[in-house]
Every structure is written in C-alpha cells, then in structure tokens.
Amino acid sequence: MTLPNVWNYWAVVVLMMVGLYIVIAKPNYVKKLMGLSLFQVSVIMLYVSMGRVTGGTAPIYILDDGAPRPFVLYTNPVPHVLMLTAIVVGIATTAVGLALVVRIREAYGSSEEDVVAELDRREVEAANALAAQRAAESDASSATAAHAGASHEEHA
Amino acid sequence: METAITVVLFVLLLATAIILGRQRNLFAASMLTGIFSLVSAGLFTVMEAVDVAFTEAAVGAGISTVLMLATLSLTEDVEAREKKISWPALAVVVLTGGALIYGTLDMPNFGDPHAVVHGEIARYYIDRSWDEIGLPNMVTSILASYRGSDTFGELGVVFVAGTSVLLLLGGRRSELPASGESPGHERPSSRPPGKRHAHVREMPVVRTVAKVMLPYIVLFAFYVQAHGDFGPGGGFQAGVILATAFILFGLVFGPQELVRHVPPERLERIMAVGLMIYGGVGVVAMLLGGQFLAYGVFTPSHPSHGHHYGIFMVELGVGITVSAVMIIIYATFATRRPSLAPQVVLDAEDRCETEVSADDVPLVPEERALRSGADLLAEGAAGTDAASEVPS
C-alpha cells in the first residue's frame, strides 16, 4: 500500500488540533481566542495547500510586451481569494470575541471560564433558595389566612 | 529545497503553537500568536499564495497582536491557575485529528495539477480573466469582479464586527485629558527612580522613529491600494496597513491623542461610507442597465475599461471600510476605562474569594441575587397585601 503524498495536510491537521486543544482545555478566555485564531490560520493553510500546483507560480500573469506569456502554470487563485477575505473577517470577529471577554471581565471580575461558571452556579442557587423561601412564606401566610377564614366560619 | 523550507516552517509553527499552549503569561502568548502568523505568512509565500501571505502578515502579526495586548490591559495578563493536562480534551483532539488524517488519505497528492480543485472554475479564471478583465493579478479580478457579491458580503461582516465592538465597548470611554498633557502619563517623580523602565511614550527615540516612519507607512498603504491590480495587494491589505499607521501613532503617542485627532464619531461614518461606495458601484451598474456589480456597462464600447474603473472603486470602498473598522476597534479597546473591580479567583476549595480588597468591592452573585430578591420580596409583599385585601 502506498500512502498518498499528503504529509503537508497532516502537518496542518496537527497544528489545527493544537489550536482545538487550547480552545477546549484552557480556562482563560483570551487564551481560548488565541487557540481559535491558531485553528483559523491552520484552516486557511489547509485551503491554500489544496490550491497549490507543483511547479506553478503565483496567480499573477507574467506579461511579455503587454500580453500574458502562454503555457505558464499558475497556482489555483480561487482558494487565495476566499482565504484572503477570511483572514480580515477573522480578525474582525476575533475583535468581537475579545470585546465580549472584556465585558465578561467587568461583569464577573474574572476572565476564567471555571470562575465564571462557578459564579453563575451560585447565582442560580441563591435565586432558587430565595424562591423556595418566598414560596414557603406565601404558603405559611395563605395557611394562616385559611385558618383564620375557617375560624370565622366556625364563629358564624 | 522548497520541501525543506516547508518542513522547517512547519516545525517552527508547531513549536510556536505548543509553547503558546503551555505559556501562562498571556503577554508572551500574544507575542507568540504574532510570531505564528508571521511564520505562516512565510509558508503562504512558499505555497505561492502571495496575496494571502500579505494579508496574514499585516493582520495576524500586526493588528491581532495589538488587539490581544489591548484586551490584556483591560483584563489579566496571567492565566489564573496551572491546569493539568485535560485527558478528555486530549482524547477529543486525538480522535478529531485522527479522523481528519484518515480523511486526507482520500485526497489527491499535494501539488497534484490534476486535482479536482483545479477544475473548471479555476481554469476558467486563469484562461479568460485576462481577456475579460485585463488585470495581471487574477486574485484581484476574482475578488472584486467575478466574486464581487461575495466580497461585498465579507465587507459587510467586517462592518458589522466594527459596529458590534462599538456596541459592546464604546459606551465607557475614559475621560479625555486636557490637550497638551500626555494621557496615561505618570509623573516620573511618582515612581521610584531606576526601578521601572520609562514608559514608551516618554522615549525620545521611539517617538522620533515613529514620526519618521508614519508617512512612509501611509504611503505604502496607498501604493498597495493602487497596485493591487498588478501585484499582490488590494483594498483589504491596504486598509489594514493604513490602520497600522494609526495604531502605531496610538501606541507611541497615546490612544487619547489618536482619538483627539481622529474622532471615533467621524470614523463611524467613514466606516459606512466605504461600504456604501462598494454597494453604490453595484447600484450604478444596475441603473445603467447591467447586473449588480457588473462593471462592463460603465464603458459599453470597451468593457474591460469599465471593469478597471469598477474594480478601482470597489477596492477603494474596501480599503476605506477596513481601515476605519480596524482603527475604530483599536481606539475602542485602548480608550476603554479599565474596570476597577478586583479580580475574582477561586481558592483550593473552589470557594469564591476576591483577591484584592478595593474600595468598590463588586457585588458577589449571592448579594446581587439577594438584593434583587429583596426588591422582589418587597414587591411581592406589596402584591400579597393587595391580594389579601381582595377577600376582605
């Protein structure tokens, strides 16, 4: 069995997985976004690798006296176009992510995922406890009200 | 030779990525993301993707690093806890990677000219774009003409991202200092002499060199904008490079100074103007009887000239919007007043502790819930009073 010559893609996949690991395992949000941009660059690399043609030159016409030279092998320009815009869109969306991290830091006092999750859990617990307390109080008050009503009837 | 360079670059990238993952100092980590981008730009150049390499070098190594640093100045620059290797995450990653590598076994060889990717569409662009559009750089022809609607959408995403950052962080700017006074400027006497390095804004060498460099960066941006038809470059790269000049100004002379010279209110409008130029070119083409973004109708006798005009205007719109969005994102991050709230950390028993006791201790969630709960209780008490009045 002969393996196809795709080691280039394998290297890209390894880089991509390092980025994915950072996104999953690191609790710090800024670190996660760094991992995400690592992942993004790797994806871009995968696309650009697919556009590669052995021996091809950059997709810019080689001109001889104002006319393109015939029989020149060019790399595929389509992945380049798609990835070029993806890079700029990627930095713009990363900026939105970083802005969200700043807001989370301001709201929670931390930019670590486990701290934020723990604070959220406590807030829910406190709210539940409060609701239970209120329910118990209203039960008690309605019970006394019913009791009072019953005694009124008895009196009548 | 090319293979050797590729291998070396991949090894460098892998080393950078792994150190980035292990680095707890986020300042160093953001520097490593810049290095990663720069090395990958080299790899793109080896793979003949010159436009992509150009963009990656300008965006990844320049702007994204600055944005990370701006974020770190508003949050913490050290990861809170040493995290042991997460075995579930590792398992997920290994499984995903294994599946992807298994998938590559069906792919054509790297660099195979007969691969499906290089099929009809790519061949059409390579064979015909010279006759139809007449620009040497095929990437620009495809970007601005053949796939013009696609690029219009991408520019819209950039615009929306800039708007989102403004919505998220634009509300709380730190106060503008009186003009003339350098902002964020601590008096040298207030700190122990010789203990800290001078702030970058006080270094005469940095200020002078930045002043000399700024006009050349702007000139280079205009060159890239105008030369995108003939070589690598275009609106996206030029916009980012132009923004780099403003960001350098902000870094060296202070973001408040940048905001004073380039008010964000004006940038917000410029941001929209670029998008409107792009869309306007399309609409004009429609009014002249053509299709949206079909530039041939501008000069019916000479369609390729119309394409040149159209592509020039569209790239101009891209450059304006991208540079305005990048400057505004930087300015919004850099002028955001840092939160005074102390950092919340969890101690060994995962109990919530505040690290620093400042004057304004933030409400811990219990208190927040209790307070809102107390309000609710008061309302509820009023409500039950009202309800109890009904039967009587």
How far is it, in rounded angstroms, from Cα B143 to Cα B25?
39
How far is it, in rounded angstroms, from Cα B103 to Cα B362?
50
Element (H, E) at A132: helix A113-155
How far is it, in rounded angstroms, from Cα A12 to Cα A19?
11
Whether residue B93 and residue A21 make contact (CB cut-off 8 A), yes or no, is yes
Share of chain B above pLDDT 90, in %: 50
| Banded pLDDT at B180 (limits 50, 70, 90) | very low
Structure-model confidence comparison of residues B181 and B291, the more confident one: B291
Whole domain around residue B39: which residue ranges?
A: 1-79
Examine the fold and report which residue of B14, B48, B79 is the final residue of a domain before the chain moves on.
B79
In a domain, B242, yes or no: yes
Enumerate residues 50 to 69 of chain A having a beta carbon within 8 A of any beta carbon in chain B. Answer: 50-61, 63, 68
Same domain, B234 and B299: yes
For chain A, what are the domain ranges?
7-59+71-111
Same domain, B70 and B216: no
Whether residue A105 and residue B74 make contact (CB cut-off 8 A), yes or no, is yes
pLDDT, tens digit, 9 for 90 and up, residues B345-379 = 766 555 555 544 444 444 444 444 444 444 544 44
Examine the fold and report which residue of B337, B353, B371 is the final residue of a domain before the chain moves on.
B337
Task: Provide the domain count of chain B.
Answer: 2
pLDDT, tens digit, 9 for 90 and up, residues B84-112 = 788 999 999 999 999 999 999 888 888 88
Q: Is the pLDDT of residue B390 over 60?
A: no
What CATH number does the domain located at A7-59+71-111 have? 1.10.287.3510
* B80 Cβ contact partners less than 8 Å away, ≥ 6 residues apart: A27, A28, A110, A112, A115, B345, B346
pLDDT, tens digit, 9 for 90 and up, residues A80-139 = 999 998 998 899 899 999 999 999 998 888 888 888 998 999 999 999 999 999 999 988
Q: Is the pLDDT of residue A1 over 70?
A: no
pLDDT, tens digit, 9 for 90 and up, residues B195-245 = 445 577 778 899 999 999 999 999 999 999 999 888 888 899 999 999 999
In a domain, B193, yes or no: no
pLDDT at residue B389, rounded to an integer: 41
Same domain, B157 and B294: yes
> Residue B71 sits in a domain of what CATH number?
1.20.120.1200
Q: Where are the alpha helices (DSSP H) in chain B?
A: 2-22, 26-46, 50-56, 65-74, 87-104, 120-132, 138-141, 148-169, 204-227, 235-253, 255-261, 264-287, 303-335, 365-389
DSSP state of B82: -
Mean pLDDT value across residues A32-61: 92
CB contacts, 8 Å: A55 with chain B: 111, 113
Q: Which of B370, B347, B344 is nearest to B357 (CA)?
A: B344
Phi, psi for residue B354 in degrees, rounded to 5 = -95, 135
Mean pLDDT for all residues in chain B:
82
How far is it, in rounded angstroms, from Cα B164 to Cα A99?
9
In a domain, B109, yes or no: no
| Banded pLDDT at B76 (limits 50, 70, 90) | confident
Q: Is B67 touching A (CB cutoff 8 A)? A: yes
Say which of B52, B67, B108 has its CB closest to residue A98: B67
- Mutation site, B84, B110, B356, B375, interface A, largest A CB count within 10 A: B110
CB contacts, 8 Å: A89 with chain B: 154, 157-158, 161
How far is it, in rounded angstroms, from Cα B320 to Cα B222?
11
Same domain, B75 and B128: no
pLDDT at residue B55, rounded to an integer: 92
Share of chain B above pLDDT 70, in %: 80
Mean pLDDT value across residues A44-58: 91
Element (H, E) at A67: strand A67-68
CB contacts, 8 Å: A68 with chain B: 130, 136
Same domain, B24 and B157: no
In a domain, B100, yes or no: no
In a domain, B372, yes or no: no
Whether residue A53 and residue B118 make contact (CB cut-off 8 A), yes or no, is yes
Say which of A10, A78, A102 has its CB closest to residue B121: A78
| Banded pLDDT at A149 (limits 50, 70, 90) | low
Say which of B36, B130, B136 has its CB closest to residue A41: B36
pLDDT, tens digit, 9 for 90 and up, residues B258-277 = 999 999 889 999 999 999 99
Same domain, B258 and B207: yes
Enumerate residues 113 to 152 of chain A having a beta carbon within 8 A of any beta carbon in chain B. Answer: 114-115, 118-120, 122-123, 126-127, 130, 134, 138, 141, 145, 149
Q: Is the pLDDT of residue A57 over 60?
A: yes
Complex confidence, ipTM? 0.85
pLDDT at residue B392, rounded to an integer: 37
pLDDT at residue B373, rounded to an integer: 45
One-letter identity of residue A74: Y
In a domain, B353, yes or no: no
